[in-house]
Structure 1
Amino acid sequence: MDILVADDSAFMRRVITNILAAQKDFRLAAVARNGKEAVSLASEQEFSLILLDVSMPVMDGLEALIKLKEQTSVPVIMLSGDDDRKTIMEALALGAVDFIKKPTSLMKVGKKWTENFCLRLKAVVSAEESNEEQLPLQQDLHNLEDPQPHNKFSAVVIGASTGGPGVLLKLIGQLPERIQLPIFIVQHMPKEFTPSFAARMNQETNADVVEAADEERILPKVYLCPGNYHMTVSNGKIKLDQRPKLHGTRPAVDYLFRSAAAVYGNQLTAVILTGMGKDGALGMKEVKKRGGYTIAQDEKTSVVFGMPRSAIEEDAVDEVLSLEMIGRRLRRIVG
């Protein structure tokens, strides 16, 4: 897979060059030192993936992303520092598929960071290059009638990882002006970015979107789990805790889904969206076991089909729907 790296930091270019050189599946095809160079290179060569720094001279990452999306469908992953939080949220809304927080020093570039970096690159490129074969359960429901689910629902839970922020912004933007029940969201995201992401989602809808707080009383709002915490629900309140990571992540979708299944039973809707790994699959299974309604995003509209696929393979999914259809379903359920 040929990769274009755009970053004005010589340190970061060296780090990425060394990592890619050690991976047989990656090839550093070109390097740009600013957004203008990246846009020019993308117009002249074909790449499998573009890594784009947020803060660069001449043309910054956000302006470059807009121009890149106009001329190519190549997936773009943003490279960000702590000061880029609001810009990253805007980049995800504009079509960046993911973002990776840059290390602050060479000491921070350890085995764990490197493995995560490579996994996320592979997940995005593999999804882009995957064939069009559909799983047996998957259905193309784009043009089918939108039936009303049979249950009277009391809550919605949503889980997402890679590619999730952009998808969630689209779904939240389709909510009715007033929602009648709570929506709980777990998005795999570092703690530094969840406040900005909650605020960005809140801009997309008239419904209230907040970063969840421990012991907060549950109301008809959209609650985003803060980074580095697990979120569950109990006795009409939100519970946050820092028990060990599950599936290598905190927050974990499974903890939310299982607790909500126990509280809401057959009045719960669970949605698993794009993301790598298997988080949420067993939680979806518990929701379905208790009579809840379960939806997985389809492969065509997922950035990475790992989490939806895992839920499908667990026989935990009632329907596999496009992003457009999920938005229509949610609008009817919560309105």
Structure 2
Amino acid sequence: MDKRLMVVDDSAFMRKIISDSIKDVEGIKVAGIARNGIDALEKIDRLKPDIITLDIEMPKLNGIETLKEIKNNYDIPVIMLSSITKTDTTIKALELGAIDFIEKPENLNENLDKFKNELELKVGSLVACKNCTNNERKKISLSNDISKTNAIVIGASTGGPKALVYLIENLPSINIPIFITQHMPKGFTLSFAERLDKLTGARVVEAKDNMKIENGTIYIAPGDFHMRLENGSIKLSKEEKLHGVRPAVDYLFESAAKTYREKLVGIILTGMGRDGTDGMKKIKEKGGTTIAQDEATSVVFGMPGSAIENGLVDEVLSLENISKTLNNILRVK
């Protein structure tokens, strides 16, 4: 049975663009539209949507207030539509429970195909099964001595921002570096880093080229730049996209594996696609420890599922248990 999408936007033009784009996505249909937040809340029980796209800027009841009401009363995945001028609001929406967002280009007519492609990709990822295989996998106990961990790398995509907020706000004090690649457009990663910085006693920064790596700091890869580690510093580049994304998790993981070898812990969180699988392989080859988020707590099981299927994961854990493991690692240090 097709999944049902509700489109919430005050612009008739945007409602048509989204509705027309969804026609090309297998397994989903538009159940209905809403012109503002109040209209959306009145229609949810009748339309029974499985997914909602929600504009941030609307009259009567804006996207943030609408999202709060939806999350308080329903378990429905929400994808926000946001402009670059609303980065702080977008990060707040992700923290409140939106699973992802799609950036509205400043000139939609010139970037219409790109917008449609992103819409189809992100909505389509929620329609597909979380994991296309149901193979049972026996847990493997962590083989490395966590007291020897000198760095942690984390990769995430769809659903990642909320997962990262949970992990970061529950961290104890840290005295090793943590590096994060989250698939996110240019302009949004700075706001995300600033928000995370307020949630923890550690220092959280958007990484810059040639920035010296320091213990006790969490580095976020900037949107539209690949991030690598080299000779004690951050190296950024604008090479071609890998797996259709920039920044790519694989580049971070592969370079970190070379730098920290058996003293590295790699964590792959919720996200679509297979980015991070090759990087996890490099971490394993160098003797590091690998952890993947389990299917039950992943919004999209693509990235962790790919790494698991390829036999590259030492431990499959819920998000809560990943947090506990991180805390154990950092307390031992």
TM-score (norm 1): 0.93
Change (3 A) 1:219 1:25: same
| Amino acid in structure 2 at the alignment position of 1:285 | K
Structure 1 stretch 55-64 or stretch 198-207: which is displaced more? 198-207
1:225 aligns with 2:221: yes
Is this contact kept in 1: 2:143–2:289, CA < 8 A? no
The RMSD of aligned alpha carbons is 1.9
Could you say which residue in structure 2 is the equivalent of 1:105?
108
Could you say which residue in structure 2 is the equivalent of 1:241?
237
| Amino acid in structure 2 at the alignment position of 1:258 | E
Could you say which residue in structure 1 is the equivalent of 2:49?
47
Q: Pairwise mapping of residues 156-171 of structure 1 onto structure 2 (< 5 A)?
A: 156-171=152-167
Q: Distance in 1 between matches of 2:104 and 2:46?
A: 27
Is this contact kept in 2: 1:195–1:211, CA < 8 A? yes
Change (3 A) 1:249 1:193: same
For residue 64 of structure 2, give the secondary structure of its aligned residue in structure 1: helix
Could you say which residue in structure 2 is the equivalent of 1:72?
74
For residue 107 of structure 1, give the secondary structure of its aligned residue in structure 2: coil
For residue 31 of structure 1, give the secondary structure of its aligned residue in structure 2: strand
Structure 1 stretch 296-305 or stretch 236-245: which is displaced more? 236-245
| Amino acid in structure 1 at the alignment position of 2:112 | V
- Number of residue pairs matched? 326
Please report how far the alpha carbon of residue 126 of structure 1 lies from its aligned counterpart in structure 2 after TM superposition: 2.7
| Amino acid in structure 2 at the alignment position of 1:239 | K
For residue 309 of structure 1, give the secondary structure of its aligned residue in structure 2: helix
Please report how far the alpha carbon of residue 150 of structure 1 lies from its aligned counterpart in structure 2 after TM superposition: 1.5
1:193 aligns with 2:193: no
Is this contact kept in 2: 1:35–1:61, CA < 8 A? yes
1:252 aligns with 2:248: yes
Q: Distance in 1 between matches of 2:73 and 2:291?
A: 33
Please report how far the alpha carbon of residue 94 of structure 1 lies from its aligned counterpart in structure 2 after TM superposition: 0.7
Please report how far the alpha carbon of residue 17 of structure 1 lies from its aligned counterpart in structure 2 after TM superposition: 1.9
Provide runs of 4+ in structure 1 moved above 6 Å.
none
User: Which 5+ residue runs of structure 2 have no aligned equivalent?
Assistant: none
For residue 154 of structure 2, give the secondary structure of its aligned residue in structure 1: strand
Please report how far the alpha carbon of residue 243 of structure 1 lies from its aligned counterpart in structure 2 after TM superposition: 1.4
| Amino acid in structure 1 at the alignment position of 2:174 | I
Paired residue for 1:284, among 274, 280, 287? 280
User: Which 5+ residue runs of structure 1 have no aligned equivalent?
Assistant: none
Please report how far the alpha carbon of residue 334 of structure 1 lies from its aligned counterpart in structure 2 after TM superposition: 2.4
Structure 1 stretch 10-19 or stretch 284-293: which is displaced more? 10-19
Give CA-to-partner distance per residue, 1:123-172, whole Å, 9 cap, x none. Answer: 123357x79x8532265x9xxxx989514100000000111011001000
Please report how far the alpha carbon of residue 114 of structure 1 lies from its aligned counterpart in structure 2 after TM superposition: 2.0
TM-score (norm 2): 0.93
Structure 1 stretch 251-260 or stretch 10-19: which is displaced more? 10-19
Percent of matched pairs sharing the same residue:
47
Give CA-to-partner distance per residue, 1:224-279, whole Å, 9 cap, x none. Answer: 00011111111111111111111111111011101100010100000000000100
| Amino acid in structure 2 at the alignment position of 1:292 | G
